[in-house]
Structure 1
Amino acid sequence: MKPSIQQLQAFVAVAQSHSLSQASERLHRSQPAISIALRNLESQVGGLLFSRDARQLVLTPEGRDFLPVALRLLGDWKDALDDLEATFSKRRGKITVAALPTLAGGLLPGVIADFRRRYPQIKLSLHDVLADEVAALVREERADFGLSVEPQGADDLDFQPIVSDHNVVICPLGHPLLALDRVPWRALMDHPFIGIHRQSSSRQEIDRVMADIGGSLDLQCEAGQLATVGRMVAAGLGISVLPSLSLRLISPVGLDHRVLVSPCLPRRLGILYRRRAPLSAAASALRDMLQEAARSEAPSTLKAEPEP
């Protein structure tokens, strides 16, 4: 059996006061309890730590050698408890989030600003990456949680939907597609197209839809950044398809958008967790704020799904 914290506390209190009565008052424990703790400690270490006489308790040489060790152990214990309390009270900690660019630049900034006002000492790190990378960062424990589309066949991850969006076609002002209230996917085949990166979840969905309807796009150019796609469209180089949540990330100058239908494909986005891996107190607080922000924006474009 190893010495307990209570035994170490009793040893230090008696060593510093040379008195059972003073140690008893200091620790708010009875003198018999202090005496038993000392004897049990001495029994465990295999020798006397105090020389006892009628007037006081004096450290033996072994006791003097052990005193700084006991003080350090108690100090480490207190520091560990203080750190733990600070973590649970969200006065200390670090959170890493992996998120799709549509959420990293859309929903997250306002939530993070609010979180920083409430918990200024919590450090935040954000990775704005593609869906596969979001899942990988969460899976490899390099992110506390992720914000992404629902992964397929990921038995080690849990997904909690919080928002939904839909596909829109963005066009330069004056484009003939803007004369329509809603644009069928087949209509895209008749116009030059600016594509987002092929590895993005949005582009993969576009390619799936075109394959399902037996069509193809007149691909003129590809870009990796949403803002770049928006500027290319505004410059008249072609049209493009983006998730509705992405509209807040591109400049509206020189372009407009319409909802895509036939098919109409709402997309769920949410929080990715490692299965059976509880979040820290700080990460849980940020998660809760994200959920609340999503609910509060429900009447707006975040939750607005087009009618089929």
Structure 2
Amino acid sequence: LIGIVLEYRRLYPQVTLVVHEGLQASIRQEILNGVLDFGIGFVREPMDELAVETLHDGCFHVAFHREHPFAVLASVPLRALEGEVLVSLPPSANPRLIFDGAAASAGFRLDHRITVNTYSTLYALLGARAGVAILPDPGVPEPGDRLLLSRPIDAPRVPSRFSLYSLKSRIMSTAALALRQLMVEHYSAGRG
């Protein structure tokens, strides 16, 4: 997102850009209420009122400090998370809903010992070795990150479809359409 925002500012320096960050449910509600032109994120349950365009098909990962024992694995089985301290987003976040159900089906509970509201706090806690986190791709640490790594969760491998979504009835401003187009181009070029 940072690269897209910087490119947008370079192309349209006269436009004031406001980025709302939050849980998908609150972003979706702001779109439905007409507060936001569009949102990006993981749409688990499509709604008739929303137009949804897939930007990236990925899967969920476990993120952790590079000295964690998971670092030697190519993927992390869901069962390996049993007993691990999880740094998590609130219970209404998509990863919690998905993986709490998957763990319950497998006969165990995930230990969401630390709950945070922002990705920046989550990443800081992972860097401090407070635990591990379940994150969607994109959203995992960059390959060259000096502190953090991630591995796909396998089995079950759960897809994460990163999408751009907007109210079907909304007529977007020229400025919003330009930002939307930059996002589509960014992800269609495989830079997500």
Alignment TM-score > 0.5, same fold: yes
CA contact (8 A) 2:138 2:162 kept: no
Other-structure match for 2:26: 133
Other-structure match for 2:134: 241
Residue 187 and residue 275 in structure 1: after superposition, are their counterparts in 2 closer, same or farther (change >3 A)? Answer: same
Q: Does 1:216 align with 2:125?
A: no
Q: How high is the sequence identity, in percent, across the aligned residues?
A: 25
TM-score by length of 1: 0.56
In structure 1, which of residues 226, 231, 243 is the aligned counterpart of residue 119 of structure 2?
226
**Alpha-carbon distance in 1 for matches of 2:129, 2:44:** 35
Residue 120 and residue 240 in structure 1: after superposition, are their counterparts in 2 closer, same or farther (change >3 A)? Answer: closer
Alignment of 1:75-224 (within 5 A): 107=1, 109-224=2-117
Give the letter aligned to residue 182 of structure 1: S
Q: Which one has a larger percent helix, Structure 1 or Structure 2? A: 1
In structure 1, which of residues 259, 262, 270 is the aligned counterpart of residue 152 of structure 2?
259
Name which of structure 1's ranges 185-194 and 149-158 shifts more when overlaid on structure 2: 149-158
Residue 268 and residue 175 in structure 1: after superposition, are their counterparts in 2 closer, same or farther (change >3 A)? Answer: same
Give the letter aligned to residue 40 of structure 2: L
* Structure 1 residue 253, shift from structure 2 partner: 4.2
Residue 172 and residue 132 in structure 1: after superposition, are their counterparts in 2 closer, same or farther (change >3 A)? Answer: same
Kindly report structure 1 stretches of 4+ aligned residues shifted beyond 6 Å. Answer: none
CA contact (8 A) 1:135 1:151 kept: no
Bigger Rg over Cα: 1
Gaps of 5+ in 1: 1-106, 303-308
* Structure 1 residue 182, shift from structure 2 partner: 1.1
Corresponding residue pairs, total: 191
* Structure 1 residue 150, shift from structure 2 partner: 1.9
Give the letter aligned to residue 83 of structure 2: D
CA contact (8 A) 2:63 2:140 kept: no
Other-structure match for 2:170: 277
- 1:164-209 deviations in Å (ceiling 9; x for gaps): 3322112334332223211110111032332222232232222232
* Structure 1 residue 126, shift from structure 2 partner: 1.4
Task: Please give the secondary structure, in 1, of the residue aligned with 2:139.
Answer: helix
CA contact (8 A) 1:197 1:223 kept: yes
Name which of structure 1's ranges 263-272 and 203-212 shifts more when overlaid on structure 2: 203-212
User: Which of the pair has the greater relative contact order for Cα pairs under 8 Å at 6+ separation?
Assistant: 2
- 1:123-169 deviations in Å (ceiling 9; x for gaps): 22211121111111111111111112225252111111112332211
CA contact (8 A) 1:195 1:221 kept: yes
State the superposition RMSD in angstroms.
2.3
TM-score by length of 2: 0.86
Gaps of 5+ in 2: none
Task: Please give the secondary structure, in 1, of the residue aligned with 2:19.
Answer: strand
**Alpha-carbon distance in 1 for matches of 2:186, 2:29:** 25
**Alpha-carbon distance in 1 for matches of 2:46, 2:152:** 29
**Alpha-carbon distance in 1 for matches of 2:125, 2:11:** 40
CA contact (8 A) 1:170 1:257 kept: yes
Q: Does 1:293 align with 2:189?
A: no
Name which of structure 1's ranges 114-123 and 124-133 shifts more when overlaid on structure 2: 114-123
Give the letter aligned to residue 171 of structure 2: P
